[in-house]
Chain A
Amino acid sequence: MEPRTTLAPVPASTTAGGPGTSGSAKSGSTDWPRVTLHIVTGKGGTGKSTVAAALALALASHGNDVLLCEVEGRQGISRMFDVDPLPYEERRIATGLTHPDSRGSNPGSVYALHIDPESALLEYLAMFYRLGRAGRALERFGVIEFATTIAPGVRDVLLTGKVYEAARRTGRRGTGRQYDAIVLDAPPTGRIGQFLNVNSELAGLAKVGPIKTQADSIMTLLQSPRTAVHLVTVLEEMPVQETADGIEQLRGHQLPVGGVVVNMVRPPELDQDDLVAARNGEIPSLSLVEDLSTAGIEADDELVDGILAEARHHAERRILEDSQRVLVDDFDTPVYELRRLSSGIDLGGLYELAATLERQGMA
């Protein structure tokens, strides 16, 4: 595992002005002090599940307990945290991040919950209707399958409904474990507006009735300042465009947009002049050969040409990244940056990312 040098520096323009920061600069302050429900979305392949997991670890410092939820049936959490596949039940899976200046205060715990619509529906029915035998009859008649796979909108109400139930517990007495924060690993950006806008999805269908009432309460929480929807992207055109579209859509539904997490940023090697020189093929191979031999490397032409070609490829990508970063900075949201880890993401890597998010003020 590489130490700090692998982590991206905090971009100067980013963490200022997050909602609720109100100018306080004391260490350990976060951009989202009022938020208890963090929803993480992102285009496929940008690493939104990784970011959700890292955010949960970062929030679970200072004795805070955090619930990390997944709703897409992928069992990604169990793989990332190297635990057995999760049931429909809250399980403790990890100890939160230890804050560098915590001075004896213990980190909290991360709990995980795998929400599947069938279990959520049965639990919902048992909780509110005490259906007893009728509940089983519903299953026999294929009603459960219908409601969770075919009936439009119902599936999303059930999934967000369970998150709502867990969020309602926070800060209040009641049954079940209380959490200081909840992180939802949500569906991808292309579907997020529809997923969270449970209300209008059902509107055409159920204008009154219990399921409509349930959807209304969920919507109230989702649109409140207690919620933030964070978007994960990488610095490429299509994901950045999709993030812009996602932000617009969320704002259109009055859903509170959180931060943008720029993931898998290439290493910041080479300064601006060197990047331009590398792209234009203007790095003299002679000085490279000399340096290499100083460092004890006998360089042949293949190696020298190879290193220069790698530098050109890197420079082209970095210059493209910079042009996309300008667009991201225009989103008018806090921005966080995570570096690409060349060795891949393991549990140690998650803590490393969590520490970066914490340092940049996301948690």
Chain B
Amino acid sequence: MAGPRRTRTSRPRVGPLAATGRTAPALDINALLDDPETGIIVCCGAGGVGKTTTSAALALRAAERGRKVVVLTIDPARRLAQSMGIKALDNTPRPVAKLKKGRRGGSLDAMMLDMKRTFDEVVTSQATPEKAAQILANPFYIALSSSFAGTQEYMAMEKLGQIHRQAQQDGSFDLIVVDTPPSRSALDFLDAPERLSSFLDGRFIRLLLAPARGPARLMTAGLGMVTNALTKVLGAQVLRDMQTFVAAFDTLFGGFRARAQKTFELLQADGTAFLVIAAPEPDALREAAYFVERLSGDRMPLAGLVVNRASPAPAGTLSADEAMAAATRLGRKDPDSRTAGLLRLHADRTRLVEREALLRQRFAAAHPEVATAVVPALSTDVHDLDGLRRVGDLLAGQ
């Protein structure tokens, strides 16, 4: 946990004021982006909370404040690529033009994860050409690398590790912003290396490898039973493909696991900052709370919470009930009263804001240590760098 990144704007209160709703300490985005120690920012959270937009806005802001940034996105949002002036994002970093050149010469590159290509590259870089060709043609490998839902998580980790190593060697980037995959559960991202390891160490792999390792195999009764059952369910051909794949992949597994472990440690290191992204909705905040707990459980450095799409607070002190009562009175005189409509809008907005504030307060009560930035909903969608800049300003509380 990096202390200096957070600025506490509220102090513990005693006395009569202690009973008022808790406010979370404010998350200082500028300090986070400007800190040269911040080397990786990981944005995570439930789907549909604006993770990708937030990642891009943070990356742009950091670049225009002098950092050399690359943003790795997972979600193929074409519109976002366009908003950064790039026709299509692919598996290698592409420079984003038209930055407002900062005083200190920052830069921004963007890329999108192509999981199949990343997987293929790992295979070709690690295996002999012969063996690589054999693996790449295996039906089980093709299915695994292109459609398996979990592959995206492994490959996001793999790509992050690659970029980080490259950046350290040639100094091309000093900040990597990562947008995590839209998982069923955002936690899959953290579980990827662990799951890979437990799979590789598991008895199942050894079972698959047994026939390939020659006649000296230990064919226990249980093993035979399992092989028979698998043949029944999957068919002999699938089992054969899997065995060929595992046998060919056997030597690569070690390297895979070691790198996944390294990336996991990289995420735990001080230079990494996790941002949990949420929207002021019960589901999104529940997921965020879960994530906050998981991160601290895994000793991952949590920088704070970003609550997107917050409804802008209504002005004045007119309550929802007063506004509705007044609207009814006006409506009785003139059913088409515009002012009545405006009052109903005010009531609607006030109720929404009250509910959102309550949800945030509950989150803060359960996780008082989590610094928070609240980003008001924009009235238009983000189309271009200016839109991203505006999101960046709002993130920084400006």
A contact set with B: CB distance below 8 Å: 43-46, 72-74, 76, 125, 129, 131, 133-135, 137-138, 140-143, 145-146, 149-153, 155, 187-188, 190-191, 194, 201-202, 204-212, 236-239, 241, 267, 269-270, 274, 283, 287-288, 291-292, 294-297, 300, 302-303, 305-307, 309-314, 316-317, 320, 342-344
> B43-84: contact bitstring with A at CB < 8 Å (1 yes, 0 no)?
000111100000000000000000000000001011100000
A310–B345 touching, CB < 8 Å: yes
B238–A206 touching, CB < 8 Å: yes
Nearest A residue to B188 via CB reads A149
- Bound together, the chains give a CA A74 to CA B185 distance in angstroms of 8
* 28 sampled A-B residue pairs with Cβ under 8 A: A43-B47, A44-B47, A45-B46, A129-B229, A137-B222, A137-B226, A138-B226, A142-B203, A143-B230, A153-B148, A188-B48, A201-B147, A204-B139, A204-B142, A209-B238, A211-B234, A236-B381, A238-B79, A238-B381, A269-B342, A288-B342, A295-B329, A303-B317, A310-B342, A310-B349, A314-B345, A316-B380, A317-B379
- Bound together, the chains give a CA A343 to CA B338 distance in angstroms of 23
A146–B234 touching, CB < 8 Å: no
> Residues of A contacting B144 with CB < 8 Å?
150, 152
B79–A134 touching, CB < 8 Å: no
> Residues of B contacting A296 with CB < 8 Å?
326, 329
Query: How far in angstroms is the closest Cβ of chain A from B21?
Result: 18
Which B310-341 residues sit within 8 Å CB-CB of chain A?
312, 314-318, 322, 326-327, 329-330, 333, 337-339, 341
- Bound together, the chains give a CA A155 to CA B235 distance in angstroms of 17
> Residues of B contacting A274 with CB < 8 Å?
338, 341
- Bound together, the chains give a CA A159 to CA B97 distance in angstroms of 45
> Residues of A contacting B219 with CB < 8 Å?
none
Query: How far in angstroms is the closest Cβ of chain B from A124?
Result: 8
Nearest B residue to A318 via CB reads B379
- Bound together, the chains give a CA A312 to CA B144 distance in angstroms of 51
Say whether B122 faces chain A, with CB atoms less than 8 Å apart.
Answer: no
User: Which 4 residue pairs of A and B lie closest in terms of their CB atoms, listed nearest first?
Assistant: A45-B48, A44-B47, A209-B235, A306-B315
A269–B344 touching, CB < 8 Å: yes
> Residues of B contacting A294 with CB < 8 Å?
329-330, 333
Known: A72-B184, A270-B345, A288-B342. A344 touches B355 (CB 8 A): yes
Q: Which of B147, B235, B236, B329 contacts A194 (CB 8 A)?
A: B147
| Extra pairs beyond A44-B49, A269-B344, A316-B380 (18, CB < 8 Å) | A44-B47, A73-B185, A125-B229, A137-B222, A142-B202, A149-B150, A150-B150, A152-B146, A205-B140, A205-B143, A207-B237, A209-B233, A210-B235, A291-B337, A302-B315, A307-B316, A307-B343, A309-B315
> Would you call the interface of chain B mostly helix, strand, loop, or mixed?
helix
Q: Which of A44, A141, A307, A344 contacts B204 (CB 8 A)?
A: A141
> Residues of B contacting A305 with CB < 8 Å?
315
Q: Which of B222, B316, B322, B343 contacts A300 (CB 8 A)?
A: B316
| Selected interface stretch from B3-11, B28-36, B102-110, B277-285 | B277-285
A206–B234 touching, CB < 8 Å: yes
Q: Which of A129, A138, A208 contacts B237 (CB 8 A)?
A: A208
- Bound together, the chains give a CA A150 to CA B48 distance in angstroms of 26
Say whether B166 faces chain A, with CB atoms less than 8 Å apart.
Answer: no
On chain B, the number of residues with a Cβ less than 8 Å from chain A's Cβ atoms is: 76
Known: A43-B48, A129-B229, A134-B228. A141 touches B279 (CB 8 A): no
Query: How far in angstroms is the closest Cβ of chain A from B97?
Result: 23
Which B105-122 residues sit within 8 Å CB-CB of chain A?
none
Say whether B195 faces chain A, with CB atoms less than 8 Å apart.
Answer: yes
> Residues of B contacting A204 with CB < 8 Å?
139, 142-143
> Would you call the interface of chain A mostly helix, strand, loop, or mixed?
helix
Query: How far in angstroms is the closest Cβ of chain A from B350?
Result: 8
B314–A137 touching, CB < 8 Å: no
> Residues of A contacting B148 with CB < 8 Å?
150-153
Query: How far in angstroms is the closest Cβ of chain B from A285?
Result: 11
> B341-364: contact bitstring with A at CB < 8 Å (1 yes, 0 no)?
111111011011001000000000
- Bound together, the chains give a CA A344 to CA B337 distance in angstroms of 27
A238–B326 touching, CB < 8 Å: no
- Bound together, the chains give a CA A232 to CA B337 distance in angstroms of 33
- Bound together, the chains give a CA A138 to CA B343 distance in angstroms of 64
- Bound together, the chains give a CA A79 to CA B222 distance in angstroms of 42
- Bound together, the chains give a CA A90 to CA B46 distance in angstroms of 27
Nearest B residue to A154 via CB reads B234
B235–A342 touching, CB < 8 Å: no
A313–B143 touching, CB < 8 Å: no
> Residues of A contacting B139 with CB < 8 Å?
204-205
- Bound together, the chains give a CA A238 to CA B112 distance in angstroms of 17
> Residues of A contacting B232 with CB < 8 Å?
129, 210
B48–A153 touching, CB < 8 Å: no
Q: Which of B182, B207, B235, B339 contacts A141 (CB 8 A)?
A: B207
Query: How far in angstroms is the closest Cβ of chain B from A7?
Result: 14
Give the interface centre of A125, A133, A143, A303 by most chain B CB atoms within 10 Å. A143
Nearest B residue to A209 via CB reads B235
Say whether B298 faces chain A, with CB atoms less than 8 Å apart.
Answer: no
B314–A306 touching, CB < 8 Å: yes
> Residues of A contacting B329 with CB < 8 Å?
294-296
- Bound together, the chains give a CA A188 to CA B228 distance in angstroms of 36
Known: A72-B184, A210-B235, A320-B380. A44 touches B225 (CB 8 A): no
> B281-300: contact bitstring with A at CB < 8 Å (1 yes, 0 no)?
11110000000000000000
B381–A209 touching, CB < 8 Å: no
A206–B237 touching, CB < 8 Å: yes
- Bound together, the chains give a CA A267 to CA B326 distance in angstroms of 18
Nearest A residue to B332 via CB reads A295
B229–A134 touching, CB < 8 Å: yes
Known: A153-B143, A205-B143. A45 touches B49 (CB 8 A): yes
- Bound together, the chains give a CA A274 to CA B322 distance in angstroms of 23
Say whether B149 faces chain A, with CB atoms less than 8 Å apart.
Answer: yes
Give the interface centre of B77, B184, B228 by most chain A CB atoms within 10 Å. B184
> Residues of B contacting A133 with CB < 8 Å?
225
> Residues of B contacting A125 with CB < 8 Å?
229, 233
> Residues of B contacting A194 with CB < 8 Å?
147
